[in-house]
Amino acid sequence: MIVDVNFVGLIIASIMASAVPLILASCGELITERSGVLNLGVEGMMIIGAISGFALMTVTGSLIIAVFGAMLAGVLISTIFAFLTQTLITNHVATGLALTIFGIGISAMIGKNFVGIPGKEFPVLFEGLKDTIPLLSPILFGHSIVFYFAFALPFITSYFLKKTKIGLIVRAVGDSPESASNQGINVRFVRYACILYGGAMCGLAGAYLSMIYTPQWIENMTGGRGWIALALVVFSTWNPIKILIGAMIFGGLTIIQFHMQAIGVRIPVQFLTALPYIVTIIVLVVISRDSRKIRLSTPSSLGKSFHKDN
């Protein structure tokens, strides 16, 4: 059997494309969690980003406004979460759930008038180089700017956390808010910032889905990707580089579905669709089994409220 190398390249590129929203959302959530905050509202923030991006694109016609607007929408919705958990000291888990329920509802409400409207073509970079190198060209060239940003983000995030002073502060706040506070760091401010940043990345992830990946608005179009992104953060043991690996695995599982159906493998379609969720569970079990390793890598104050009495 002769395998066309360019076809292999295209499959890898399509896996990478489906990994993009997972990478963006996970890297955002990773920063939030590194500061000690568990935001379960990823799914809600993503879907808000998806509808905001699509709606702004349709209404203003500007892709730039749409992309940044979606990020801003993510920031705004995460501000609710930040205000509740940081200022009013509410439970992180319950507040995150409320955010997801609220986000799905409000996105469907806004999106009612945008169902069935075709999306716009999103410009791709380096399209002229598409046929230059066998195998690698389809992987490297001809993608949107968001795609390239997503694959750079884990490295940027890793550098930020390890090498920059602000990154160190974020980690200090997550690992020991008391000592960070004693050092004169404003814990609440840092956590606010990390939550809003997470919101922006989830908004971007949503915009990628509705504007680039499948350029249209469908209710509930995030389809659980937000939850998989949350699982990826655990999978990565809070290490951004490993998010890249995890996201590629899950991207692969999504893409496999289509190809299995195409070559006529007789497995029920529902089973293939369920595969990413089942694999997530299995991966979580394998990762979490070593409780010592998890405890060492989990931000110590994750999900715990911090309130300075004054």
> Does residue number 258 form part of the binding site for other proteins (CB under 8 A)?
no
Which residues within the stretch 27-46 sit at the binding site for other proteins (CB under 8 A)?
40
Q: Which is nearer to other proteins, 69 or 138 (CB)?
A: 69
Residue pair 66/210 in contact (Cβ under 8 Å)? The answer is no
Distance (Å, rounded) from C-alpha 76 to C-alpha 13? Answer: 32
Among 108, 117, 135, 249, binds other proteins (CB under 8 A): 108
17 forms part of the interface with other proteins (CB under 8 A): no
User: Where does this chain touch other proteins (CB under 8 A) — which range of 54-62, 156-164, 201-209, 224-232?
Assistant: 224-232
Pairwise CA distance, residues 149 & 207, whole Å: 14
308 sits near other proteins (criterion: CB under 8 A):
no
* Distance (Å, whole) CA 53 – CA 221: 13
Which of 120, 113, 112, 115 is CA-nearest to residue 61?
A: 120
Rounded to an integer, what distance in angstroms lies between the CA atom of residue 304 and that of residue 199? 19
204 binds other proteins (CB under 8 A): no
Q: Does 77 engage in binding with other proteins (CB under 8 A)?
A: no
Using CB under 8 A, pick the residue from 274, 297, 300, 304 that binds other proteins.
274
| Contact (Cβ atoms closer than 8 angstroms) between residue 238 and residue 174 | no
**In this structure, how many other beta carbons lie within 10 angstroms of the beta carbon of residue 110?**
16
Residue 241 found at the interface with other proteins (CB under 8 A): no
The answer to the question of residue 105 lying near other proteins (CB under 8 A) is yes
Neighbours of 60 (CB within 10 A): 12
Applying CB under 8 A, which residues contact other proteins? 40, 80, 84, 88-91, 93-95, 97-99, 101-106, 108-109, 112, 224, 227, 230-231, 234, 268, 270-271, 273-274, 277-278, 280-281, 284-285, 288-289, 291, 294, 309
